[in-house]
Structure 1
Amino acid sequence: MKTTLKTILLTSVFAIAGSAAGYADDAAPAAAAPTPPALGPAMSGPLAGNASPTSFDLSAMPLLGELFGKTYVTGVVSGYGQFEDHAVPGDHKSIGDLSNAQVFIQKVDGVFQYFVQAGIYSFPYLGAPYIKASPTTNGNFGPLSQAFVKIVPADNFSVQVGKLPTLIGDEYTFSFENMNIQRGLLWAQEPAVSDGVQVNYTMGPLALSASLNDGLYSGRYNTISGAAIWTVDSSNTLAVSASGALSTFYKNKGATFVLQNNQEIYNLIYTFTSGPLTISPYVQYTHIPTLPGLGTTSTSTWGGAVLAKYAFDSNFSVAARGEYITENGSVAKASADPLGYGVGSDAWTLTVTPTYQYNIFFLRAEASVIKASTKVFGPTFKSSSQFRFAAETGILF
């Protein structure tokens, strides 16, 4: 089954590449010159970065001017609060925190480009206790969460080296980047930030990326990741991504979860946009091999999600996400439990997030529910569901 899935996904990549190449040839005479995008941070909306970002033109500086040129300095500061029922031991029924206090420094033109993201952050996500920003930052990627240089010798080719955002999944790492405040169950199986090198190539509507990296920030460069994105037209985009460890590594600390760090993961993502509406369904498959050092046998997960947002006007929008994920292991076979809800478990979630943004200020509220097949919530683990209300407010300067 795993080999069949690999074949299907690899065939999809080549089919996308072939179709896109043909489309590029047909459309080339009418194509407009591409505009290089900003390095980051990437944002799926509805939140948007400052339309008039602060910049410094350093091109007149001796020696360093040509290297640093026009440098942009932006950032985010946000507060977060949540209330939930059926809190587990060690979690809180209600809590408030600083979810982001980050600055982004970047150069987005020329042969030499760079991106630096520094500050503190938290990772609120469904079905897991909330951990405050300070221990989250110290226990994951540190105060320098992303930092890389990007060499762009040609408009359609570039190389990135450093602390890189993942190529995997349909949700980004930080709350302000996503449609919803909290990340979902599929996101929890994916890498977020990796140290490594990444090569990017574009050909008309086709964008290809390949990376050698350390997976879930393990410090061992034994993971290969890749993505193919085909922009069919202004309304439709199709993406295939995959990542897999080349060898076994048993590190289990901070951002490095031993099961996910040794897995193979595959995504197929479709995005439709029409005016104020965006809908993005995607499917995800993971396979974790037998790990003798843990005493577990192989396990796989299947998941699917639909993310959507609708902008009522330039200030107010509503986003929603529905998802389901299941793992196929069994206790009798000593299977691993990547979901964390019991071997062979499954779960679904629903999330709704109204958002208001005026210039650099934003306010979001969120209602979510998770339902697992096992009783994993509550002070004595007697509930299979959890409702959570959350809110986030701040500025994107």
Structure 2
Amino acid sequence: MKQPMKMLVLGALSTICFSGFACATGFSIPAPIKVDAGPIGKINVQGVVSGFGFLQTNPGTSGGLNGKNAGADISSGLITVSKNSGLIQFNLTAGAYNFPSLGEPFSSTSSTIGDFGALPYAYVTIAPLSNFSVSIGKLPSLLGYTGTFTYERMNIEGGFPWFLQTTVSRGVQVNYSVGPISASVSWNDGYYTNRYNVISGLVTYTINSENSVSVYGMGNAGHTGYANATARYSSNSYVGGELDLNNSQMYGAYYAYTGSNLTVVPEVQYIYTPKSVAFGVDESTDNISAMIHAAYDITDNWSIAAGVDYTHNSSSRAGSFSYGFGYGPGASALGVMITPTYTDGDFFVRDELSYVRLTNYTSGFGADNRPDQLRDILETGFWF
């Protein structure tokens, strides 16, 4: 059986997994093309082209793609060149991408590319030993189970814990494994701030071939402020836009069961944001997010995934991103999604139905707040 939703994503993720990074599961994809690169050795080359269309109730008022009841865009137009053996390894992933997230506004792919550029992953790994390596460059996040790109996920949308995690960071990462334990520690710039003062880590204990437990964490060793005098009001400034998260502490854990046909992953995550008058954070806050996602392989070509997500913020005052997960002080959100998937060789198509319900949200706190939202997303594409 191909196990379309349970197999480790090959090709584009192969270097990531072998270098000690967190690895999510997505649906089955063809093996990458092996190319003899002369003195470099064998390298992997693989690409994906996919697009999505959506229908949604209660669209936002911010305009653009999210202000529509229906729309479409590119979800991935990526090519990955990687080498995952030998002393010197590398991963280069280039192209277009989008990050649809449960209950959050849609962004156009053209604007999303501005987050991390047309080369979202670009790192070199030095592996002097089979169980020890060091990676340097633009690195995937160590936080959480859910993958960055849509093809790395069980579901099309990232869940509530994923939305608050880092996505790509610049820095250096040390990876080590011994027996059933693997660990990675990174010094990086967190939410892509170009301020290298964040420490993040991931430890995984593999119980057996079907069960593993992972814990992760992140904290700022200093303080990250605005990039400049105008960045505070810049919508595309990660330093300004993610100011609270840049100065927060994050802790989380997930358990992964991967049976012959079934994958189940519960995850819980806690974020503490300290009070900082200098940064306009006038009270400390706590955010807790949790999810349980699962996928079941029905046949060689058909599978189905589903997820339940919850988040709540303790804040009693409005004023910044961390207050209420962007939905206002003290807000909570409950979301569900279900995603049947069909794969056939290089081709895939899947459709996701999701629903989010808010409680204690603040009307007008954000341009896209609404009491609930129903979405249907159809994604299709192929590998080459």
Query: Is the structural similarity TM-score above 0.5?
Result: yes
Counterpart amino acid of residue 57 in structure 2: D
CA distance in 2, matches of 1:342, 1:274: 40
Name 1:137's counterpart in structure 2: 113
> Cα distance 1:55–1:128, how it changes in 2: closer, same or farther (>3 A)?
same
Q: 1:43, 1:178 within 8 Å by CA — same for their partners in 2?
A: no
Correspondent of 1:349 among 335, 355, 364: 335
> Cα distance 1:333–1:197, how it changes in 2: closer, same or farther (>3 A)?
closer
> Is 2:25 the counterpart of 1:49?
no
Q: 2:60, 2:369 within 8 Å by CA — same for their partners in 1?
A: no
> Cα distance 1:244–1:78, how it changes in 2: closer, same or farther (>3 A)?
same
Name 2:3's counterpart in structure 1: none
Shift of 1:393: 0.3
Correspondent of 1:391 among 374, 378, 382: 378
> Cα distance 1:174–1:334, how it changes in 2: closer, same or farther (>3 A)?
closer
CA distance in 1, matches of 2:246, 2:259: 37
SS state at 1:302 partner: strand
> Is 2:101 the counterpart of 1:125?
yes
* TM-score, normalised with respect to structure 1: 0.84
Name 2:300's counterpart in structure 1: 314
Q: 1:210, 1:227 within 8 Å by CA — same for their partners in 2?
A: yes
The count of aligned residue pairs is 352
CA distance in 2, matches of 1:96, 1:303: 29
Counterpart amino acid of residue 312 in structure 1: I
Name 1:364's counterpart in structure 2: 350
> Cα distance 1:95–1:349, how it changes in 2: closer, same or farther (>3 A)?
same
Correspondent of 2:51 among 62, 65, 79: 79
Calculate percent identity across the aligned residue pairs. Answer: 36
Q: 2:59, 2:368 within 8 Å by CA — same for their partners in 1?
A: no
Counterpart amino acid of residue 255 in structure 2: Y
Shift of 1:58: 1.9
Q: 1:46, 1:317 within 8 Å by CA — same for their partners in 2?
A: no
Shift of 1:207: 0.3
Shift of 1:383: 4.0
Correspondent of 2:150 among 175, 183, 187: 175
Shift of 1:396: 2.1
SS state at 1:39 partner: helix
For structure 1, the residue ranges without an aligned partner over 5 or more in a row are 1-36, 60-64
> Is 2:219 the counterpart of 1:234?
no
> Cα distance 1:334–1:249, how it changes in 2: closer, same or farther (>3 A)?
closer
CA distance in 1, matches of 2:43, 2:319: 55
CA RMSD across the alignment: 2.2
Counterpart amino acid of residue 346 in structure 1: S
Q: 2:328, 2:362 within 8 Å by CA — same for their partners in 1?
A: no
CA distance in 2, matches of 1:265, 1:342: 20
Alignment of 1:114-263 (within 5 A): 114-138=90-114, 140-251=115-226, 253-256=236-239, 257-263=242-248
Shift of 1:382: 8.2
Specify the structure having the higher radius of gyration (Cα): 1
Counterpart amino acid of residue 280 in structure 1: V
Q: 1:46, 1:355 within 8 Å by CA — same for their partners in 2?
A: no
CA distance in 2, matches of 1:380, 1:233: 47
Shift of 1:331: 2.0
Q: 2:121, 2:140 within 8 Å by CA — same for their partners in 1?
A: yes
Q: 2:24, 2:145 within 8 Å by CA — same for their partners in 1?
A: no
Output one character per residue of 1:192-229: Cα deviation in whole Å (capped at 9) or x when no partner. Answer: 11000000001011101100000000001000011110
> Cα distance 1:380–1:120, how it changes in 2: closer, same or farther (>3 A)?
closer
